[in-house]
Amino acid sequence: MVTGGGKKMGLVGASSLVVANMVGTGLFLLPSSLASVGSVSILGWVVAAVGASALGLVFAHLAMVEPKAGGPYAYARDHVGRFPAFQTNLLYWFANVIGNVAIAVSVTGYLAIFFPSLKHPWIANGCTAAIIWLFVWVNTRDAKLVGGFTTVSTIAGIVPIAFVGLFGWFWFQPQVFMESWNPGDAPLHSAIERSASIALWAFLGVESAAVSAGVIENPKRNVPLATIIGLLVSTVIYISCCTVLMGVIPGKELRISGAPFAEAARMMLGPWAAIGISLAAILKAAGSLVGWILIVAQSAQAAANDGMFPERFALTNRHGMPVQNLVVTGLMMMVTLLVSTSPDVATQFAHITDATVILMSVPYIYSVVAMWRLNRTLHMATGKMQLFIVVGLVACLYCLSVVLGQSAELDRKALLVLLISTPLYALIKRR
């Protein structure tokens, strides 16, 4: 846990952390993935926004009643059980390590616009590795620096993107939007289910403030506020921007675009705008990466303090940051980077994000169960209790729909990871 000597972030930094983690690579690359479903995916965005809002309310309530460093892991530990807590932390940590690689890959993808040699897979991997270790180092400094970096990158990165989302409507063509409505002629419920499943990647990070409660000033006030503010800002940006993109770029082009926002800016205002958007994408994704590395480290640190991860994960430096934990996280990201090497950034990104959202579903469901069990110990009005039961059910149904929306092969692999957690827990208990 962060020591008293470490500087903590306030409401602005915490809100920026949530927005930076949510409005990260999804804003710049996810529209290409959704284009394979078609512009019907806008309905999936609505479903995803409802599900993410339910999750946001769960974490905001938990943070208000019982703020804890470690987020989903800490709540599962205290209110569900040690084995579910171990599963939560293992899956949460593993999913975020994988997801962080996707963010780093997206930075490299946009850098390739300026340095074409980065389109070669192994040169790109070298660049991605350098990016990862740069931001691991940033996280060894202190939480104030991380919060400051995410604030600057969020403002600098979102301003031009918000411009496209707002003023791009002047270039919006309804016929372009409708021509790519459902290119695969999938049943409506299947298209919505698939697009809502893909879109969960965009909302990963809704729990960021809750996980980082240990490095946030006045967490009982700032954590729930940061969660709600971050969720609202991110949802508006996502839906507006993705709708504009699907009405500006023809579906066939959008599906294969490695830089859809840059392409839209080029079509609207010319090459100079594409360059500006690419720079914004790089800065924004970098801010997202530095924030997510902090989230992963905080979660593993909380588990190490409980003896569920090696004790070295809990050791902190003079800045109050878990430096050895961060180094191990960086090494795991290197392994993921190597095994996920693909011919192009878009394919690598899609594979990584699909795996991430499935693994994240289990920790989210455990968090809902933790909220229900915690509420039973509180002197809460019946109406309010029932409201949170409904909110939790909506969140759980969304998480289950995410799993159903993925391929059977990917679901089987995720199940294997879940099953492996059982013997791993037995080994840790024995030690």
Q: Which sign does the torsion angle of CA 380, 386, 387, 390 carry?
A: positive
Residues 218, 222, 227: CA angle, nearest 5 degrees: 150
Backbone angles phi, psi at 69, to 5 degrees: -70, 135
pLDDT, tens digit only, all 431 positions of the chain:
444 445 788 888 888 878 776 775 566 777 877 888 888 888 888 888 888 888 888 988 887 788 776 678 888 888 999 899 889 888 888 888 888 888 888 888 778 888 888 888 889 889 999 999 998 888 887 667 777 777 777 677 776 677 778 888 999 999 999 988 888 788 888 888 888 888 887 887 777 777 677 778 888 788 888 888 888 888 888 888 888 999 999 888 888 776 788 888 888 888 888 888 888 888 878 887 887 788 788 778 877 887 878 778 888 887 777 888 889 889 988 988 887 776 666 666 777 777 888 888 898 999 999 999 999 988 888 888 999 999 999 999 999 988 887 778 778 888 888 888 888 888 877 76
Q: Which residues have a Cβ under 8 Å from the Cβ of 356 and sit 6 or more positions away?
A: 95, 96, 98, 99, 102, 201, 204
Pseudo-torsion of CA 348, 351, 354, 356, nearest 10°?
A: -70
Residue with tokens 């938990």: 62
Instruction: Provide the residue ranges of all domains of the chain, joining segments of one domain with +.
Output: 11-430
- What pTM did the predictor assign? 0.77
CB 58 within 8 A of CB 368: yes
> What's the token pair of residue 260?
């859809």
CATH of 11-430, one of 1.10.510.10, 3.40.50.800, 1.20.1740.10, 3.40.50.1370: 1.20.1740.10
